[in-house]
Amino acid sequence: MRGAIAPPPIDDVVLADYRMERDDSAEPRLSFVLPNLAQSELYGGISTGIDLTLRLLQKLAPGVSLRVILANPTMQSDFDIFDKAAAAADISEHRIEHFAIRGNDAVIPVRRREMFLTYNWWTTLNISPLLRQQATEFETQPKPLIYLVQDYEPHMMPFSSALNLAREALDSPDRLWRIFNSKNLQAYTCLQGHTAERDFVFEPVMNEALRPALAQAAGATRERRILIYGRPSIARNCFPALVRGLRAWARDCPGSDRWEIASAGAAHADIELGNGKRIQSLGKLTLEDYARVLLQSSVGVSLMSSPHPSYPPLEMANFGLRTITNRFTCKSWENGHPNIFPVDSIQADPLSRAIAQACDMWPEAPVLAPDPTFTRDDAYPFMPELAEAVSAQLA
């Protein structure tokens, strides 16, 4: 019975066998391929992908167009999300076209002067054969595929065919240019044995919409509130461990009854912790509401089972919250913000003690010194180099 209702393996759903159709237009084009664009799925990774792609387009010649390709569109797909970001970046709508793939055997027009930027492992695997077809059809050398790597995706799945395929995505393109979101992630990926023709790396940077509120951090009135990054459906955010740590804290720590706990990230039912304490879910907040909650809170807890540092602990710390997060291979936090207190163990008791120590510092003023790397203006220092390399390939 369980087998009859279990969903199919993800690789059965997302793998595709696209066919190339020759497009004889002489105009150069960059195609950005991502699974979907929908308000309900608009988390940090997608926003970073949109922002990076638009910054690259700005650096390319005005004659280069951009095609946004949705590999797995749904009824909720909304190209306006991208178009509004393009308009805010002062990019003409005439430079942008939309393409929604219909079916795993779809025909995709490809030009001779075209490059592809992919967002995740299956878009990378599915697009790679098109580059070989492009080279054969136009009798040119294969062009590099640009892969935006924002986490080590193979480890987001159990041992399975999908894990192996996600590893292949980091190995299989004939020519692969990787863009890494953090040196930690690049180091971890290399540690797993993956190599590429070329790498570009940027460190996480604060979202523009949060920056105006950051100036208010010094004068903010802090409540006895613990803000957690709560996404129960995302395994790498370690929500069960977070709840166990808070339960131990509520049980063992004197004074816990004077604190409230709020969860931001994804909507979930409120959770009873015992001793009259509960986690109140705020759901997925707008960036403006998120900034307001950051300014009102004193302690932050955000866990991440990944080499990627994750944005919430960086945001919390820079806004003045004493922030508990965990270490991971290639992610030690040694040179992190002074408001970040990393833990080696996310078992209940060590996590509870770290939370208690952070709470005991209230109402002493936190360190209010923005991290210059996280709050820098130049989000992608490599962009001129990347734009020059892409321009040479599109010539």
3-state secondary structure of 164: helix
User: Which residues have C-beta within 8 Å of that of residue 338, sequence separation ≥ 6?
Assistant: 317, 367, 369
Q: Residue 315's domain spans which residues?
A: 209-360
The kind and range of the H/E element at 228 are strand 225-230
175 & 307 share domain:
no
With respect to residue 367, please indicate whether it lies within any of the assigned structural domains: no
Please list the ranges in the chain whose pLDDT falls under 70: 1-4
User: Could you tell me the CATH number of the domain that includes residue 52?
Assistant: 3.40.50.11090
Residues 153 and 288 in one domain: no
Q: Are residues 151 and 217 in the same domain?
A: no
165 and 233 in a single domain? The answer is no
The answer to whether residues 16 and 132 belong to one domain is yes
Side by side, which strands form the sheet with 29-34?
A: 96-100, 65-70, 29-34, 114-118, 145-149, 176-181, 198-202
Q: What is the pLDDT of residue 1?
A: 45
Residues 266 and 308 in one domain: yes
Whether residues 258 and 171 fall in one domain: no
Q: How many domains does the chain have?
A: 2
pLDDT at 108: 98
Does any domain span residue 240? yes
Same structural domain, 275 and 166:
no
**Does some domain include residue 228?**
yes
Q: Do 387 and 342 have their domain in common?
A: no
**Res 4: pLDDT:** 57
Q: What percent of the residues of the chain are helix, what percent strand, and what percent coil, each to the nearest 5? A: 40, 20, 40
Beta 277-283 vs 271-274: how paired, if at all? antiparallel
> What does the pLDDT read at residue 41?
84
**CA-based torsion, 31, 118, 149, 285: positive or negative:** positive
d(CA 106, CA 94): 25
**120 CB contacts (<8 Å, ≥6 apart)?**
34, 35, 153, 169
Residue 95 placed within a domain: yes
Write the CB contacts of 320 (distance below 8 Å, at least 6 apart in sequence): 217, 218, 220, 222, 294, 295, 339, 366, 367, 368
How high is the pLDDT of residue 172?
80
DSSP string spanning 31-96? EEEES---GGG--HHHHHHHHHHHHHHHHS-TT-EEEEEESS--TT--THHHHHHHHHTT--GGGE
Do 161 and 138 share a structural domain? yes
Residue whose structure tokens are 């339960």? 247
**Per the domain annotation, does 370 fall within a domain?**
no
Q: Which of 27, 90, 86 is nearest to 61 (CA)?
A: 27
